[in-house]
């Protein structure tokens, strides 16, 4: 079952999710696991954004603080210094595009939305900043709710679940109730591949992805691009993981995914086109 006739109201821009879309990753960080340091200046950012939009990205996701396992935590001022100028120059050059901000800080989310971001993407589900959920609800923009066990510093030490699908599902049910109580309308679910999960946990979640839509009826975002669940089984580096990523993207689409969050937009769009032929 795919979520039909689902649209997100992103500050007046409607995003239709009755057909899968691609979110392009724009990390303006020096230490992200795959693309850290690549977008070091305005020219590089604009070129990458233009490429992704021309290739078919529906959303560009801007992140100013790496959340890879063991990443060094930057302070809020540094994150703002990375995110806001990037967002402002992108909106100036691509006024019709839709941008999301990837942050767990309420202050960064507030500033980014005020600057023009239309979606907030949060790895922490509000657990790292007590003001976060209320802030996002007050902003009235769609919220990407992700599951993470632990924090980025320790999440991959010894992740453990009795039943990973049931526990992530219960987590979503609890968080959705809180968000609805705060008045937040548009919610997207992200199971959090690689965030406090073993390779086996990741594949179990992917295999049972349909359960989240069946029970909760909300769109699901998949963030598996070039991650360890591709690299470790194949014994390759992230730079070699495009083929494996594409293979798992097809599985995710068959399991009902609505948004693919990716480093490689053109290839993800191709997977969606081939999936659509299978669906027909």
What is the C-alpha separation between 109 and 57, in angstroms, rounded? 22
Structural contact between residues 63 and 35, judged by C-beta atoms closer than 8 angstroms: no
pLDDT of residue 66: 76
Question: Going edge to edge, which strands form the sheet with 119-122?
Answer: 187-190, 143-146, 119-122, 99-102, 59-63, 21-27, 259-262, 221-222
Beta-ladder partners of 143 = 120, 187
Euclidean distance between CA atoms 22 and 100, whole angstroms: 12
| C-alpha R_g of the chain | 17
Domain 7-279 sits in which CATH superfamily? Dihydropteroate synthase-like (3.20.20.20)
At residue 69, the pLDDT reads: 65
Q: Where are the domains of the chain?
A: 7-279
pLDDT recorded at residue 252 = 98
Other CB atoms within 10 Å distance of the CB of residue 151: 16
Supply the pTM of this predicted model.
0.91
Q: Which of 66, 74, 72 is nearest to 36 (CA)?
A: 66
Q: One digit per residue, pLDDT tens: the chain, 280 residues?
A: 454 448 999 999 999 999 999 999 998 877 544 454 455 678 888 999 999 999 999 999 999 887 766 666 788 999 999 899 999 999 999 999 999 999 999 999 999 999 999 999 999 999 999 999 999 999 999 999 999 986 665 656 777 899 999 999 999 999 999 999 999 999 999 999 999 999 999 999 999 999 998 899 999 999 999 999 999 999 999 999 999 999 999 999 999 999 999 999 999 999 999 999 999 8
pLDDT value at residue 4:
47
Indicate the pairing of strand 99-102 with strand 59-63. Answer: parallel
**What positions carry a catalytic annotation?**
227, 261
């Amino acid at each position: 079952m795919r979520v039909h006739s689902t649209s997100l109201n992103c500050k007046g821009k409607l995003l239709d999710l009755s057909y899968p879309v691609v979110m392009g990753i724009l990390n303006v960080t020096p230490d992200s696991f795959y693309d850290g340091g690549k977008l070091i200046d305005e020219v590089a950012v604009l070129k990458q954004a233009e490429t992704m939009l021309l290739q078919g990205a529906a959303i560009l996701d801007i992140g100013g603080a790496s959340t890879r396992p063991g990443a060094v935590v930057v302070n809020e001022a540094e994150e703002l210094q990375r995110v806001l100028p990037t967002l402002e120059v992108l909106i100036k050059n691509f006024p019709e595009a839709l941008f999301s901000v990837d942050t767990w800080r309420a202050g960064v989310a507030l500033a980014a939305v005020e600057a023009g971001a239309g979606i907030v993407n949060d790895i922490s589900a509000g657990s790292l900043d007590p003001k976060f959920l209320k802030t996002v609800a007050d902003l009235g923009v769609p919220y990407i709710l992700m599951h993470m066990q632990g924090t980025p510093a320790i999440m991959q030490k010894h992740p453990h679940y009795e039943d990973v699908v049931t526990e992530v599902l219960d987590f979503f049910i609890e968080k959705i109730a809180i968000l609805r109580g705060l008045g937040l309308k548009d919610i997207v679910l992200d199971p959090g591949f690689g965030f406090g999960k073993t390779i086996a946990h990741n594949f179990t979640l992917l295999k049972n992805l349909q359960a989240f839509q069946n029970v909760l009826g909300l769109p699901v975002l998949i963030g598996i691009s070039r991650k360890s669940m591709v690299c470790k089984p194949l014994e390759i580096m992230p730079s070699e993981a495009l083929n494996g990523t594409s293979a798992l993207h097809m599985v995710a689409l068959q399991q009902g995914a609505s948004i693919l969050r990716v480093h490689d937009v053109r290839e993800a769009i191709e997977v969606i086109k081939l999936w659509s032929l299978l669906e027909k």
